[in-house]
Amino acid sequence: MRDLESVSIDPQVQFLLDKARNENVLTAFDRADMMNICGFGSTGVCCRHCLEGPCRIAPNGKGPQTGVCGADVHQIVARSFLNHLTQGSSGHAEHGREVALTLLEVAEGKAPYQIKDVDKLYRVAHDLEIVTEDLSMNEVAKEVALKALEDFQKQTGIMNWVKLRAHEDSLNTWNKLGITPVNAHLEITKAVARNAMGCDADPTNLILGGVTMGLIDGYAGLHLSTDLQDILFGTPKAVKAKYSMAVLDEKKINIAVHGHIPMLSEKSVEWSRRLEDEAIKQGATGINIVGVCCTGNELLMRQGVSVASSFSSQELVIVSGVLEAMVVDIQCIMPGIQQVAECYHTEIITTLPYVKIAGATHVNFEPSEADEAAQEIVMKAINRFSKRDPEKISIPDQTVDAYAGFSTEQIVEALSGLNGEDPLKPVIDALVSGKIRGIAALVGCTNPREKQDYGNTVVTKELLKNNVLVVSTGCAAHSLAKHNLMNFDGLEYCGEGLKEVLEAVGNAAGLPSLPPTMHMGSCVDNSRPADLLTAIANRLGVSMNELPAVGSCPETHSPKALSIGTFFIAHGIDVHIGVSPQLSGSEFVTNVLYGDRTDEHEVNADKLFGGKLIYEQDPYTAAKLLLERIDMKRETLLNKL
Ligand code: SF4
Ligand code: WCC
Ligand code: FE2
């Protein structure tokens, strides 16, 4: 087993992992060490698509070079890539659909939520070309929800959210290639169908099908979810919050909310306030909600709720011995939490009919019955308090402050402190003068196989040092926040030019500075960096693929990161991934995705879209490669302006 320092660079995670090991509790970090990586699967060459197989193609020309059906290694690898992308985008599309349905129920008076950002509702309605004059607010909300649901139903044309949010030049490229999505369900079904034995067997065509999945993720998932969540729960504004395992409070009833959709977690926060007296009756001083993964990010961005853990250390929150309940909705929930919870007093509560865990409690959550469900969940947690085992309690101390809540709207507002007429001008001037060399979105996850937070923080620090403006989302943002990259202490990592810009914008907004990196939210909020880049491209009158902008995902585990990454590549933004995307079995596929515009290889992403996938495990080398691409695009852009 790895020593503690090789598992995470976070001493609190090391501390709790040590505790888990001493108490003979197995967590993902140790399970990762026990699992031998399969040499076939890790290169994408194994196929289980039909009952003639499984088939696998050995590397170096040894053994059969096609499956029973005749599929060669390039077809097999391209299909497994498409498979990953389909899985990733369907998760986000389901997220978007759930939020759209909730908005519809709220508009019809059937679900107990308020529309918090009425301005955004009207802005989105206007951009969707809904005539609002004779409509009440709820009727407008209903029309917006129905437009969103059309993106899961219509049979011809272009998805509404693609028209709403895509940069025109990108859309033209997709139209020419015939890959623009019609509706999310149609495209996902088509992707599953084309991937079956006996269907699409052209690796290039399969990869293009994968790009459509990236667009489904980007529009039916990210943009649609962010827009409707902002309407329902409010568009985030700058907040100060706390990070690390130490946000758990021994004196309080601790409830972790984990997963992705904010409908349940927003209500859990509300009910934890309303049931405070019940907690006091049990001898606690109150109720403490802490976040895990993206539900944590959603609450952090809008309510300033503290965040305990990113993906890879989720089980260790339970190991503290003070967690009464972990309430989960969808995605990134390790089944292992139940086994760990059984070693402590924690109750795992699942909430959606299609995401249950054997052994866990299930409280069904429907937006229409949100109050009843949240009340029941919080009461369950309160009733667990007396079951704590004092022998097993141990919480690290020392929380870390972080500023979050940087929606695109909030960033533009901060910038308008410098130039009210033309808020983006200060960024553009800084880009042109070189004070800001480029823009990077540091996104994605943590992965129990990787040294937690290492890749995320090293890439970030290298980019900051080189004056790259860094925004962040997801569990990657968690890594940055814990290591002082979202508070003013982290400004020491910034190059002089960048620091000057951050301070100038911060000062205009009444702060000492902006933080070194800006937290833009959950994974579906990767729509926000996309929106920011779209606005900058439009302001400059250029395409997205001409911007010195990159994405980096150093520690991911999730197919969702692949589909989000593909969405950015479809715009011509280079994306780095630090964990193997399981493609190395096919030179053809890696050439298409990793190839450069100067390559002889006939067709590749860089030539088609102006951006490519960069797979590099070493974070220092990765930062260097990203800077090279930033510089290349900078030079072309500056010549053009
Ligand atoms: Fe084998 Fe072809 Fe079936 Fe895959 S689809 S398992 S390669 S026969
Ligand atoms: Ni988004 Fe990655 Fe976290 Fe899950 S919660 S682990 S996809 S970054
Ligand atoms: Fe997420």
Longest dimension (CA), the chain: 73
Q: Is the CB of 28 under 6 A from ligand 2?
A: no
Mutating to test ligand 2, I would choose from 328, 445, 446, 478 the residue with most ligand atoms within 8 A of its C-beta, which is 445
Query: Does the bond joining 423 to the residue before it have cis omega, within 30 degrees of 0?
Result: no
pLDDT digits (tens, 9 = 90+) for 75-120: 999 999 999 999 999 999 999 999 999 999 999 999 999 999 999 9
Task: State the Cα–Cα distance between residues 133 and 138, nearest whole angstrom.
Answer: 13
Tell the residue nearest (CA) to atom 4 of ligand 2: 332
Is pTM beyond 0.90? Reply is yes
Q: Given this model, what pLDDT does residue 496 score?
A: 98
pLDDT digits (tens, 9 = 90+) for 494-544: 999 999 999 999 999 889 999 999 999 999 999 999 999 999 999 999 999
Answer yes or no: is pLDDT of 329 > 90: yes
Q: Given this model, what pLDDT does residue 199 score?
A: 98
The stretch 27-52 carries a mean pLDDT of 96
Contact 75, 123 (CB under 8 A): no
Mutating to test ligand 2, I would choose from 558, 562, 564 the residue with most ligand atoms within 8 A of its C-beta, which is 558
Considering the chain, what percentage of its residues have pLDDT values greater than 90? 98
Task: State the Cα–Cα distance between residues 467 and 269, nearest whole angstrom.
Answer: 38
Q: Is the CB of 481 under 6 A from ligand 2?
A: no
**For residue 66, which ligand has an atom nearest its CA?**
1
Q: Which atom belonging to ligand 2 lies closest to the Cα atom of 556? A: 2
Answer yes or no: is pLDDT of 601 > 90: no
Mutating to test ligand 1, I would choose from 40, 49, 199 the residue with most ligand atoms within 8 A of its C-beta, which is 49
Q: Is the CB of 124 under 6 A from ligand 2?
A: no
294 C-alpha vs ligand 3 centroid, how far in Å? 5
Answer yes or no: is pLDDT of 448 > 90: yes
For residue 488, give the amino acid letter: F
Q: Using pLDDT thresholds of 50, 70 and 90, give the confidence band for residue 60.
A: confident
pLDDT digits (tens, 9 = 90+) for 247-288: 999 999 999 999 999 999 999 999 999 999 999 999 999 999
Distances (CA, A) of 490 to 53, 415, 465: 53, 21, 11
Q: Given this model, what pLDDT does residue 584 score?
A: 97
639 C-alpha vs ligand 3 centroid, how far in Å? 38
Q: Is the CB of 311 under 6 A from ligand 2?
A: yes
The long-range contacts involving 266-270, CB below 8 angstroms and separated by at least 24 positions, are 266/113, 266/233, 266/298, 266/299, 266/302, 266/303, 267/370, 267/371, 267/373, 267/374, 268/327, 268/374, 268/377, 268/378, 269/299, 269/303, 269/305, 270/374
Tell the residue nearest (CA) to atom 7 of ligand 1: 67
Closest CA relative to residue 310, chosen from 364, 375, 244, 370: 244
* The Cα angle at residue 213 between residues 207 and 217, in degrees rounded to 5: 145
Contact 542, 167 (CB under 8 A): no
pLDDT digits (tens, 9 = 90+) for 183-230: 999 999 999 999 999 999 999 999 999 999 999 999 999 999 999 999
Answer yes or no: is pLDDT of 557 > 90: yes
Q: Is the CB of 293 under 6 A from ligand 2?
A: yes
pLDDT digits (tens, 9 = 90+) for 352-406: 999 999 999 999 999 999 999 999 999 999 999 999 999 999 999 999 999 999 9
Task: State the Cα–Cα distance between residues 254 and 252, nearest whole angstrom.
Answer: 6
Task: State the Cα–Cα distance between residues 106 and 108, nearest whole angstrom.
Answer: 5
Q: Is the CB of 523 under 6 A from ligand 2?
A: yes
Q: Using pLDDT thresholds of 50, 70 and 90, give the confidence band for residue 61.
A: confident
The ipTM assigned to this model is 0.92
Tell the residue nearest (CA) to atom 6 of ligand 1: 53
Task: State the Cα–Cα distance between residues 353 and 94, nearest whole angstrom.
Answer: 13
Contact 458, 620 (CB under 8 A): yes
Q: Is the CB of 95 under 6 A from ligand 2?
A: no
DSSP string, 10-46: -HHHHHHHHHHHHTT---HHHHHHHSPPPTTGGGT-E
Q: Using pLDDT thresholds of 50, 70 and 90, give the confidence band for residue 602.
A: confident
Q: Which atom belonging to ligand 2 lies closest to the Cα atom of 312? A: 6
Residue with tokens 């190395």: 584
Q: Given this model, what pLDDT does residue 395 score?
A: 96
Task: State the Cα–Cα distance between residues 33 and 26, nearest whole angstrom.
Answer: 11
Which three-class secondary structure state does DSSP give residue 347?
strand
Q: Is the CB of 497 under 6 A from ligand 1?
A: no
Answer yes or no: is pLDDT of 59 > 90: no
Mutating to test ligand 1, I would choose from 76, 82, 83 the residue with most ligand atoms within 8 A of its C-beta, which is 76
Q: What is the mean pLDDT of the chain?
A: 97
